[in-house]
Structure 1
Amino acid sequence: MPDMRKSSGSSPLWMAPHVTIFLSSACIMVIELVAGRIIARHVGVSLYTWTAVIGVIMAGISLGNYYGGRIADTGRPRRILALLFFLTALGCALILPLNALAGELGRFPGLPWSFRIFLHTLITFLAPSTALGMITPVVAKMGLEYHRAQGRTVGGIYACSVAGSLTGTFLAGFYLVMLWRASTLVLLSSAGMIFLGICYWVSVILYSDSPATADMPSLKQEPNSPYKTSASLWIYAALTVFVSNAAFMAFEFAVTRVISREFGSSLYTWTLVIGVVLGGITFGNYLGGRIADRSFSGRTIALLFGVSALLVLASPLCNEGVNILRGQNIHIATLSWPMQIALQVLAMCLIPCIAIGTVSPIVTKRLLASGVAPGASVGTVYAWGSIGSIFGTFFSGYLLVQWLGSLPLVALVATALSLVALCYLPRNLLTWAATLACVTALFSSLAFFPALRPVADLLKLSAASDPPAVYEKESQYSYIAIVKDRKEPAIHEMYLDQLVHTRIDMRDHTRLLYEYEWIYSEVMEKTHPTPSPVRAFVIGGGGYAYPHYLEITRPGSQITVAEIDPAVTEAAHVALDFPRNTAIRIEDRDARNVVDDLVRHQEADTSFHKFNYIFGDSINDYTVPYHLTTLEFNQRLHSLLEDDGVYLFNMIDMLDSGAFLAAVIYTCRQTFEYVTVFNTGRQSFVRDTFVVVCSKKQLFLDDIPLRLQAQYAYIGEQLTDDLLDRLIVRHKKMVLTDDYAPVENLLAPVVRTRAGDTGEVNLAFARRYAENGDFVRALKRCRTAVSIHSKWPEAYELLAWLLQQSGDQEGSISALRQAIEGHEDPSSAWYALGQALMKSERYEEAIEAWTKCVEIKPDHINGLYNLGVLHGTRGELEQAIFFWRKVLELDPAHADSLHNLATAHVMGSELDEARKLVQQMKTLNLEVSPDIEKALK
């Protein structure tokens, strides 16, 4: 095909394709990111929602790419683009009325929610996404008219397209959703399309249609072209870009899940994964364009696919390497949490994505070199790439992660890439070797090939939980693991990714282990004392600890639970002894869907029984279900409650920041007359759990903290209205609505403190050095920790121990005194101080410390025993006997107390009492001192 000539150097039009594709791709990404927020008010947020959004928008873009390619070859690109931008602006503007229309159609209760969600998304987004998809091939056709090097041109346009998507992701995720409402962002995107349409219309008027085409040969296929368009060429091109795009979407999904296990799921996690993947694809597109101008043979494509496969296969190893580095290097460990996530993601997927990104420009260049019209070439590559992305998203999200797990999915992606390399170069030993390595790795990562397990361990394609899990499963939403507590194995913990969601005592399911559960129960006692049955709706089942507790302690209760992930429910049945024949009604759907159905049922049935209590247990990680925090959702819950009903939910925030807490409280106050907040007593600079109690009538909850302290080790308090008012004013009285709920952004300060708090990191390294016997470095890190947070009991306790190991007894005592204030268990702090004072022979002060210990915790056996010993050594036998008898009331088999008490009675000539104690020791098979035996004879 003859070369295309460059436009005049003085013309700015050669930049137009790159700027245009960048801006339009950014708009597409903004629309895709706010799409879920736009429709959430009608269909909730679930796997069905985001896969429907991705599927419909990508399908629309694929259709647009195909038809845009056909249109591009029929006319003048700039005229076509002007019309397309105006059409796209109209399509974006129609999103809001189409969303409202689809919401009305969704009121038909006979349709299953999965179909309603898909239908709603299809009506709302198919037309605008199709219009947006038509732009890319037309822009590419225009770009080819302004550059001689086709590969570089196509690669540059692809790179700008992905860079635009990257910019749209970060702009929308970190800034725009905080600044404007979702509907405003849609209208701004429409305005942006109008602006681009006007720019192109003006360019048509001011410039000749194409300075490059005046004396440029025809772009159509020439009869004597050495490459002929054939079905096999189209099929190979389509399948190649299909596999490459499906692979990088599946790889992105797997990386997100792997990273979430370590860092949780937050705004930073998903934006950084998307950002690094798109950044890699961007550079890969650019690099692929350069390569295409030198070689676009099948051998080149095979080489790139083979390299991509091996890089993908090595990504878990890179991930593990950074994990080790983070644990061993204090400088990396003290990086901010987002920087640590970025480092992890960069190590795992940047290079593989660069390699995968080189494919599309080379395939496009092959089509162009065959004589295929430019618009059709680019349209075909983009269309089949979009279809591949849809396939990769749906197949990974719905099936592969559940069937295989995230790490085996990485091996499967590598295998798929290696098979493409083998198809292009079937007689090459290297491609066969790469394919064999990937297939072996895939089989080794699967549980039903135990003989190959060492290979999976070597390649880090298997992730062993620590401690070992009694149950583990990857679901469509998260990695689920149930493990035994290290100190108390009878307690089982349910992990969802890296977060402990539920703790259950398998010996006693009525034992509540979380502070928020204690608060829930005490609030219920105010209006419905146990065992009164209640009608309760629980948002978020998790391990079903609290719903099952209600079922046991309040027989006859009518309990409904909305748990979005059926795999979590199954895990509770299998590993947490949650009975399958439970009377609890379980809805494995998004809570918003369940609430909408309940409201419709209430409107249609006058005999509908409202709820006494609604419990929220879904806001427990850094990715908050924003649609369950809004004013509109609260209004629905308000309508479902009895007049004396109560809505209680737990949430996370950091009091020093308090942005999310302030917004939630102020939003609740718009619906409920009485809103009370309790915390769990954590330091203000670290993440804390808050329990919000909303009611229609005043409940008088001021005595709740004292009631809890009498039963549990509760150290929290009720936050005053004055404190809450100041917090709300500080954060500008934000109301969360269906159209504006930037909850991830509000929680961003909390996320940043997870590992960004240098005090916590220094304390962790101090512990690690201490365990290895390196007390000098441990002391240095511990002193740094207490210098950062001067009132930190946990750090002072470790400092005291380290000083004691180094022989500084006075320094240890001073540190233990500092540890008492704010300690979550003050009795243990006083006990430790007493031990240090005892070693320093400061007996009077030791007695004072241990007396404080047993005043706080009257059943502290060691404290009581030691008080007896001190009084005994001072000859105060009456006091000593008193304390030892207290110990025996708590533990009748306490050998030392029995021995000392018997000795004291012998010394006091109370031989009958001593004989009784000796007989008790013999009954318990305890050793009796020969001196006592001799004295009694």
Structure 2
Amino acid sequence: MSPDTNHRHRHALLAIFVLSGFAGLIYQSIWSHYLGLFLGHAAYAQALVLAIFMGGMATGAAWIAHAGQRWRNLVRGYALIEAAIGVLGLLFHWIFTGVAAFSYDWLIPALGSPWAVDIARWGIAALLIFPQTILLGMTFPLMSGGLIRRFPGREGSLLGGLYFTNSIGAAIGALAAVFILLPWVGLPGAMVAAGILNFLVAALAWWLAREPEPVPVAPTEAKAAPEQRLLQNPLLRLVLFGTALSGAASFAYEIVWIRMLSMAVGSTMHAFELMLASFIAGIALGGLWVRNHADRTESPLRLVGWMQVGMGVAALVSLGVYANAFSWVGWLMGSLAKSDGGYALFNLGTATIAIAIMLPAAFFAGTTLPLFTVTLLREGLGERAIGRVYAWNTLGSIVGVFAAIHLLIPTLGLKLTLCVAAVLDIGIGLFLLRLQINSRHSMIRFAVAAGISAVALMVAVRIPYDPMKLASGVFRYGDSEIDAGTQKVVYYRDGKTSSVAVIAGFDGSANISTNGKPDAGIMVKDGGWPTSDEPTMTLAAALPLTMLDKPAHVGVIGFGSGMTTHTLLGDPRVKQVDTVEIEPAMVEGARLFGDRVGRAYTDPRSRIVIDDAKAFFAANPTKYDIVISEPSNPWISGVGTLFSKEFYQFVPTYLNENGLFVQWVQLYEINEELIGSIFNAMSPHFEDYAAWMTNGSDMLIVASPKGKLPKSDLNRLFQNPGPLKAELARLGITTQEILDFRKIADARMLRGIARLYNQLPPNSDYFPILGLYAPKSRYQGITAEAISTLPAQEAILLEASGIRLPLPLHMVPSKLAHFPADTMTWRARALLAELAGQLGTQLPDLLPARNLSPAILMREAARKACEQSWNPATSHQLSIRIREFSVLTNAFLPSSALRDVWSRRDWIPCKVTSPDIARTLSLMNAISTRDWNAMQDEGRKWFALPPQDSAIYRDYEDMALSALLLSLAHQDQWKELLEADEQIGLPEKSDNVYQLHRRLLRAMARDQNGPGLN
């Protein structure tokens, strides 16, 4: 083979290893999602996934180190292994779904005991990916051994080149998995894509390896001894233990950096893959550098010593870089537009921050494994050294993962865990350098390395690790630090899965946050006004309790502040509450809420379980009367599985015959299409459901898998002795009518909303819509206003749909201003009183005096119209004021209260002679008095007239059409509704509430599939 052909052949083999790394990281990323679904996202599950992956790689590498010596064409052996990986990749989804279904439906319930269930789950998870990971572990030793046989004398260059190409492919694969493949084809499609890549790599490698490899040079007899004798070789022991400890430190860095960066950039799926890609890119660059230096160095062991010291020092320096990350993210949040382009730049900016923190140490990490391997190859230990070093490095990585997650981080925290790993790396490096001291100059260099390391460690330990920054949630609002003038951190702990903080406000409130994202806020001070989160947490428990006569057993997913569990235990009918929480630090931190959540800790009926929810329910034989799902926000990586169609299919199997399921859904940092994806995932598995708003942006869905949803009745709570009556009264919920006033949708309307916003498929475990798209909504600060504003909208859609009525005048709405419709009710009552001249001094404190202006201005406009004989200008001005007054009162006052306003019209001091105003008043009278027949007649009359040039006519077109459509909807005349809408053909010129309701009513009318949302 000519030198040029030789060169091209070598580079072609290196190039296909890019594709191999690309496919390999797709597998690792997608397997993590799959096994996360099976094991849950608890810390032990995350560690186990990585341990299985690394353990399989180590096993494969160790086996091939021995068996590969007998193979005469390692590259073709590599091709066969790649093809086998491809076959398993193509079959994986089918195998996984069958095994998971068998496990959850039959095996786990049959096992019963928790330890047996855990062993079964872990064993099954290992078997699902262990064969593939063993094969993956063979690929690097086979390819590197084959190249070294074909191109002898360039071991360092070849190993560095392979490490670079494989790692750079892996970095690209990590990004492609989440940014391209998952949005495009989901988890199953990504596995297929990786499998096809394996076949392509196999075909190319088979073709390139047409010529046989030279017979390898056999190691000397002493060096070809059995493994037990070889391990007595001091150099071999040194290298293997060194590479194992180095691997442990490297993976500890990766875990710590990802956890730390999550507090600065957010715990999203995109952020995780960007951080992973940054780490692997650093390793790739290290491999590229060592490719050009390994063969030229006099002592690879001395060089790897310097690399180890460099890695440890770089890790310590990363703490100083990290200290500025919150300011940088705050700058990004303040500088970038809240648009699609702004989100792309935000991801680019956060990737740059991750690179600045992770890449230097990762660069040094990328040099160590090739250099350790070259050390043994130069000693004549043969190509078995490649597999040995690779195996011991991966075994060390497993130890590093478990030690970091289960021991170091919970005990020392993130910062000190990083310091411990750095000291380990520096210790390895200094030990290797000490062995190489053979002159005065080498002693000086050793002393310099030790001095630099000591200074770096002292500086790193003193770098502030300030909870006021860590808990700031800068990735949401751009504030890089909690305002010390209003709040202080009273609890902070780096737990196994997340970092938990409790922040106390100087006003007596407190909130608990996870990785900087507030999960719950409570007013701790006696006499203080409740926070806006409290109605959500309280009603999540109280609402289903009002629907059941004997709610004995309740399951709660997500501990949060503990208030939901606390509320449930205030009902003496409840016999047991099982609260499932992943992070122990969450339960520990919430104790600071004191008596507000005390029953969750002290009541003997409370059982707090640290586990994954799905795994717990599958192993627990208990059937529940109520299951409440109150996880964190669905933009957080992994949380979207608690809003998936597979989860909603799973939950009903753990409910009693008349059991109820409660789902909290955020309406902030999310858009209507994503909410529609949740509705479409949930609806097929429940026969009836309805939604309530607890404040301005939180919604609770109560669903019944069998039969009609029971009617809510507060007397079920109030007739029993207990504290719930007082606790609900503190939130302004004192009567059934006030509770019903918070209802915003029944099943028919939820189906209509889902049909209206069905641009995305149902959220699924295997097509994670929320994990992929919700982070962008979070960044853009989007609110699903079309849904969140339903209870405070001006048109009487909810009343026409039979969902809720306005509060009777004798009932006092809450003055907490949590629920916007309460404030709108106060305003409507004040306007009515002002128009009648009966307001006096009854204006509530929460309403400024300017809120009375619509009544005053309408009365003044009527006076002017009378004085000027109803000329067009004054009539039009009055029509504007009528509309303004009506939209602020119609939906928030009972029909009896508005009857005199539009029928007697005492506020108009003369006879109405304007035909346009007369028609307007007739329309208002029909709407405000809920005369559904009159609304239909007035609406049809409005459009039966010849086309009008009157400004008043045009101003009221949308209201007239709304009256017509609402009357038909109220009378279940859905076919006639569609016909009327089509016949009138009013163009949708704006996106106001009437146009929204029009589209929603059309969607409800077209829903011909009963309870399904197809």
Same fold? TM cut 0.5: yes
Structure 2 counterparts to residues 638-787 of structure 1, below 5 A:
638-652=652-666, 657-678=671-692, 689-695=698-704, 696-699=706-709, 718=745, 725=752, 727-728=754-755, 730-732=757-759, 734-753=761-780
In the superposition, relative to structure 1, how do residues 333 and 194 fare at CA in structure 2: closer, same or farther (>3 Å)?
closer
The one-character-per-residue Cα deviations of 1:487-530 (angstroms, maximum 9, x if unpaired) are x22x221111111112233356996742533653663375259x
Shift of the alpha carbon at 1:623? 2.2
Equivalent position SS for 1:258:
helix
Select the residue among 580, 583, 593 that pairs with 2:615: 593
Give 2:373's match in structure 1, choosing from 354, 360, 364. 364
Secondary structure of the equivalent of 1:425? helix
Please state if 1:134 is matched with 2:138. Answer: yes
- Pick aligned residue for 1:384 from 392, 415, 429: 392
Q: 1:196 to 1:536 in 2, by over 3 A?
A: same
Give the total of aligned pairs. Answer: 745
Greater CA drift, 714-723 or 69-78: 714-723
Contact 2:644 2:765 in 1 (8 A): yes
One of 304, 312, 317 as aligned partner of 1:314: 317
Measured after TM superposition, the shift of residue 174 of structure 1 is 2.6
**Counterpart Cα distance in 1 of 2:581 and 2:840:** 43
Instruction: Give the SS at the match of 2:464.
Output: helix
Checking the alignment, whether the CA contact within 8 Å between 2:579 and 2:607 is kept in structure 1 is yes
User: Which segments of 5 or more consecutive residues in structure 2 lack a partner in the other structure?
Assistant: 224-229, 435-442, 473-481, 715-730, 784-788, 790-816, 828-833, 854-1014
**What's the counterpart of residue 15 of structure 1?**
11
Q: Which residue of 1 aligns with 2:992?
A: none
Match for residue 941 of structure 2?
none
Shift of 1:277: 0.5
| SS across alignment from 2:679 | helix
Alpha-carbon distance in 2 for matches of 1:575, 1:671:
36
Which of 287, 290, 311 is equivalent to 1:288?
290
Contact 1:612 1:645 (8 Å CA) reproduced: yes
Partner-residue secondary structure (3-state), 1:405: helix
Aligned to 2:120: 116
Aligned partner of residue 457 in structure 1, secondary structure? coil
Distance 1:713 1:646 in 2: 18
What's 1:769 paired with?
none
Residue number in structure 2 paired with 1:78: 75
Determine which of 341, 350, 359 is the counterpart of 1:350.
359
For residues 300 and 282 of structure 1, the distance between their equivalents in structure 2, rounded to whole angstroms, comes to 18
Report whether the alignment pairs 1:45 with 2:41: yes
Offset at 1:98? Answer: 7.3
Matches of 1:701 and 1:263 in 2, distance apart? 44
Alignment partner, residue 277 of structure 1: 279
Quote the Cα distance in structure 2 between the aligned partners of 1:21 and 1:224: 34
Q: Secondary structure at the match of 1:49?
A: helix
Amino acid paired to 1:55: A
Question: Which structure 2 residues correspond to residues 341-740 of structure 1 after superposition, within 5 A?
Answer: 341-373=350-382, 375-426=383-434, 427=443, 428-437=446-455, 440=458, 444=461, 455-457=462-464, 466=482, 467-486=487-506, 488-489=507-508, 491-507=509-525, 513-514=532-533, 515-517=535-537, 519-520=539-540, 523-524=543-544, 526-528=546-548, 534-554=552-572, 556-573=574-591, 576-577=594-595, 578=598, 580-582=601-603, 583-598=605-620, 601=621, 610-620=623-633, 622-652=636-666, 657-678=671-692, 689-695=698-704, 696-699=706-709, 718=745, 725=752, 727-728=754-755, 730-732=757-759, 734-740=761-767
**8 Å CA contact retained: 1:7, 1:147:** no
Q: Does 1:858 align with 2:844?
A: yes
Distance, in Å, in 2 between the alignment partners of 1:208 and 1:199 is 14
Over residues 824-846 of structure 1, what are the superposed CA-to-partner deviations in whole Å (9 max), with x where a residue is unaligned?
A: 69979x99xxxxxxxxxxxxxxx
Q: Partners in 1 of 2:331 and 2:80 — Cα distance?
A: 58
Aligned mates of 2:3, 2:145 — CA distance in 1 = 14
Q: Contact conserved, 1:494 with 1:500, CA < 8 A, in 2? A: yes
Partner of 1:180: 185
Amino acid at match of 2:305: A
* Root mean square deviation of aligned Cα: 4.4
Q: CA deviation at 1:276?
A: 0.6
Distance in 2 between residues matched to 1:330 and 1:264, nearest whole Å: 12
State the alpha-carbon separation in 2 of the partners of residues 647 and 826 from structure 1: 27
Give distance in 1, aligned partners of 2:749 and 2:7. 64
CA displacement at 1:222 relative to structure 2: 7.5
Counterpart residue identity of residue 163, structure 1: I
Distance 1:258-1:581 versus aligned 2 partners, 3 A rule: same
1:157 aligns with 2:162: yes
Structure 1 residue 697, shift from structure 2 partner: 4.1
**Distance 1:262-1:690 versus aligned 2 partners, 3 A rule:** farther
For the residue of structure 1 that corresponds to 2:554, the secondary structure is strand
Structure 1 residue 653 displacement after superposition: 5.4
Label 1:585 to 1:658 Cα distance change in 2 as closer, same or farther (>3 A).
same
Structure 1: unaligned runs, 5 residues or longer: 445-454, 603-609, 683-687, 760-790, 792-820, 832-846, 868-937
CA separation in 2, counterparts of 1:747 and 1:666?
A: 16
1:52 and 1:117 in contact (8 A); partners too: no
Deviations 1:636-692 (A, max 9, x none): 32233345432111133568733432221111111112233455776xxxxx54433
Distance in 1 (alpha carbons) for counterparts of 2:152 and 2:745 = 69
* Cα distance between partner residues in 1 of 2:693 and 2:349: 29
Determine if contact 1:282/1:354 at 8 Å carries over to the other structure.
yes
CA distance in 1, matches of 2:222, 2:619: 66
Give 1:551 shift: 1.2
TM-score (norm. length: structure 1) = 0.70
Q: After superposing the two structures, state which structure 1 stretch, 20-29 or 668-677, moved more.
A: 20-29
Deviation at 1:138, TM superposition (A): 1.0
Q: Is the 8 A contact 1:98 1:123 kept in 2?
A: no
C-alpha deviation, 1:714, in angstroms: 10
Cα distance between partner residues in 2 of 1:98 and 1:299: 47
Shift of 1:273: 1.1
Residues 411 and 438 in structure 1, CA contact (< 8 A), matched pair in contact too? no
Q: Distance in 2 between matches of 1:272 and 1:624?
A: 16
Distance 1:26 1:297, change over 3 A: closer
Report the CA distance between 1:328 and its aligned residue: 5.8
Distance 1:171 1:329 in 2: 24
CA change 1:500–1:553 in 2 (3 A) is farther
1:64 to 60, 63, 73: 60
**Aligned partner of residue 519 in structure 2, secondary structure:** strand
The verdict on how the C-alpha distance between 1:61 and 1:320 changes in structure 2, with shifts beyond 3 A counting, is same
1:143 aligns with 2:143: no
Within 2, Cα distance between the matches of 1:852 and 1:363? Answer: 86
Q: Quote how far apart the aligned CAs of 1:270 are.
A: 1.0
Structure 1 residues 458, 432: closer, same or farther in 2, change over 3 A?
farther
Q: Aligned to 1:293, what secondary structure does the other structure show? A: coil
Q: Residues 853 and 324 of structure 1: is their aligned pair in 2 closer, same or farther, counting only changes over 3 Å?
A: farther
Q: Taking every aligned residue pair, what percent have the same amino acid on both sides?
A: 17
User: Is 1:25 equivalent to 2:11 in the alignment?
Assistant: no
**Mapped partners of 1:655, 1:229: distance in 2:** 57
Q: TM-score, normalised by structure 2?
A: 0.65
* C-alpha distance 277-692 of structure 1, shift in aligned 2 (>3 A): same
Cα drift, residue 58 of structure 1: 0.7
Please say which of residues 249-258 and 317-326 is displaced more in the overlay: 317-326
Shift in Å at residue 537 of structure 1?
1.6
